[in-house]
Structure 1
Amino acid sequence: MTGFLTRTRGKTRMDVTDILAFAWLILGTLVIAIPIGWAFLSSFKPEAEINSFPPTLMPRAAETLVIEGYDDPLPAYAWTDETGETRTVGLIRRIGLKATVVDPDTPGERLSVDAAAIEKRTEIRPEWSNYTDPLERFAFLTYLKNSVFVTVVATVMTLVLNSMAAFALSKYRFRGSTTIFVLMLSTLMLPLSVIMVPAFMVIVGLNLADNLWGVIFSTVATPTGVFLLRQYMLTIPDDLIEAARVDAASEFRIYWRIILPLSAPALAVLAIFSVIWRWNDFLWPLIVLSSPENYTLQLGLNAFQGQFTVQWHYILSMTVVALLPVTLIFLFLQRYITEGVASSGVK
């Protein structure tokens, strides 16, 4: 990593292209990282702090005072009196331009002051209940389990079925193979909205509506995956396959023991794409699933949005949780991305 960051085109000093490249990389990193960082920090804010203006960067919460004679802690405010002295008081109520406060030193005396003379006191305090409440009060773990099941099963089936199709289109010579490949790629131009109704009718006909398998089966065959794997498999020498056939290896054994291990970089790239597609899919599960116990994570997050209120503190915290699996998979498989994408375009 250090060698990559310190590599320059110039022999003794940085070239202008190095400066432009680093400036572009830094700008791109900031554009991507700032919204993610903001969402992460905001996921620890109380609900009132998220809706406050002007917005704050760090998660801050109002300080409270425990005052004798009051059952609940009162929000702490800084009050500047007529003499210019600033004291910490507890706010009882605020009506219009007047506020009723109490001094902790004289809890029996209530003071009526101008609302403009008091200022809320806050401290940096993460709101951990944003993460614990959805796990305790809502069926978030059920949504998470459903998303993991759909993502894992759909990704495994995608790798197997697409690699089989790519193996046949790249290593077998038969009439119409090019036509089949072109027709398969042409389906990339069809958006989901075009095939949504017939696809749903097929799912209903198979009695898979409101079933997680209905979400899985309709998405495992992807022309992008077939194209990616086929282009990569074209780089594998045919001599290896012929030698295996001479040794009496079956076609499935050639596929399983030779083609799949050599196609590992392209399979890793397709696995990353598949995980991102299935994990973030919202529209198709929304169409197929109707029971809350079958909801995936994205549908579960939508449940925090009501007709009149939006629970942003829960949405942000659970969005951060939803980002973790995809981020970890990307970190583990990122070294295959450049190799797999670059090699899949070489014939």
Structure 2
Amino acid sequence: MGLFRFLSRTRGRGRLHWTDVLSYAYLFIGLLMMFGPVVWLVMSSLKTEASIGQFPPTFLPYAQRVVQVPGHEKPLPVFDVKQPDGSVKTLAQVRRVGLTATMVDPDAPGKTLRVGIDDRSPVNQLSFAWCNYTDIFGKFTFGTYLWNSVFITVVATVLTLLLNSMAAFALSKYRFKGSRAVFLLIIATLMVPPTIILVPVFLVIDQVGLLNDLWGVILPAVASPTGVFLLRQYMLTIPDELIEAARMDHASEWRIYWRIMLPLSAPALAVLAIFSVMWRWNDFLLPLIVLSKSDVFTLQLALNSFQGELNTQWHYLLAMTVITLVPVTAAFAFLQRYIAAGIASAGVK
């Protein structure tokens, strides 16, 4: 109730002010532009292969109604056929040749009629094709692709948080000659496009024998200059007195890092974790050059491989795309409360 009262507040007393109308219109358009394509994707993933190809397209998953007619092995599609007298009759289509369709009355299957395809319209009904999601686990090695993506994302995220937080701790709390130059050098790497170093990265991975290995995708991306910058800026806001007090209590540098710096840097770590999950989960270019065997494909490579040159099973492809959105959405929903605090605090100094 409190949330509804907050969302329905108006500037005018008891009525909508013109600024309220503009605000709600702007928010509605933004909401529609952001979530409209996602909702359309989810609804399209519940359509059958035939209904996806229908024109004009429909938002809800409608499928053409079929009926079992005596004398025919398979169910026949149902159409509303316009009669010469102007009436409409429901008939089942036996076959179609060119511009003429052979129809049969389900109530009188012994007699067939020939009608023009322009005189009939399909009879649709709301039908959710849940089999799109269940069939992909039986027809494809979808579980393998899912496990590969989850393994790469989880391991790479853990290593990214660990290595970047170590570097940020050293650059923010240790005073040594050349620390600023090292930090500027790390920041300078942000200006280098990833495609520029793609060939050297591939050669290094090949030399160490990590081609067609999931570790060949994980290791090259664990050191992130964005993560070092974000965590260093946040750790600068942590008082140095806490570290000095821990050292007076004979705490080791590793214990200071593990027991003090990491817990206090939780908001920034959560932001970096979200970024890392999105980077690793949606990464396509690096797995494309490292992985060539189908048994080590990630979900992104699997989605690309299912787009055939002549035939694409769009109903399965859309269902797999929806499944790929779930982990990133779950990670964002779980860690989103840290985003604003982490990003705002990282720019304090």
Instruction: Give the TM-score taking structure 1 as reference length.
Output: 0.95
Structure 1 residue matching 2:197: 3-state secondary structure: helix
Q: What runs of 5+ residues in structure 2 fail to find an aligned partner? A: none
- Number of the residue aligned with 2:278: 276
Matched, 1:336 2:338: yes
Structure 2 residue matching 1:45: 3-state secondary structure: coil
Give the distance between the partners of 1:21 and 1:234, measured in 2 at CA.
38
- Number of the residue aligned with 1:32: 34
Matched, 1:117 2:127: no
Q: Deviations over 1:82-102 (max 9, x none)?
A: 223322111011223321111
- Number of the residue aligned with 1:157: 159
Q: CA deviation at 1:232?
A: 0.3
- Number of the residue aligned with 2:199: 197
Q: 1:60 to 1:13 in 2, by over 3 A?
A: closer
Q: What count of residue pairs does the alignment treat as equivalent?
A: 347
Q: 1:32 to 1:290 in 2, by over 3 A?
A: same
1:138-157 alignment, distance < 5 Å: 138-157=140-159
Give the distance between the partners of 1:173 and 1:18, measured in 2 at CA.
53
Instruction: Give the TM-score taking structure 2 as reference length.
Output: 0.95
Structure 2 residue matching 1:56: 3-state secondary structure: coil
1:35-74 alignment, distance < 5 Å: 35-74=37-76
Q: 1:3 to 1:117 in 2, by over 3 A?
A: closer
| Aligned with 1:179 (options 178, 181, 185) | 181
Give the distance between the partners of 2:141 and 2:121, measured in 1 at CA.
39
Give the distance between the partners of 1:116 and 1:8, measured in 2 at CA.
53
Structure 2 residue matching 1:194: 3-state secondary structure: coil
1:1-347 alignment, distance < 5 Å: 1-2=3-4, 5-6=7-8, 20-347=22-349
Q: CA deviation at 1:134?
A: 1.3
AA at the equivalent of 2:324: A
AA at the equivalent of 1:232: Y
AA at the equivalent of 1:225: G
Q: CA deviation at 1:26?
A: 2.7
Identity of aligned residues (%): 58
Q: 1:127 to 1:203 in 2, by over 3 A?
A: same
Q: 1:169 to 1:209 in 2, by over 3 A?
A: same
Give the distance between the partners of 1:119 and 1:11, measured in 2 at CA.
53
RMSD: 1.8
Q: 1:24 to 1:86 in 2, by over 3 A?
A: closer
AA at the equivalent of 2:31: T
Q: Deviations over 1:10-49 (max 9, x none)?
A: 8998777665554433322211111001101000111122
Q: What runs of 5+ residues in structure 1 fail to find an aligned partner? A: none
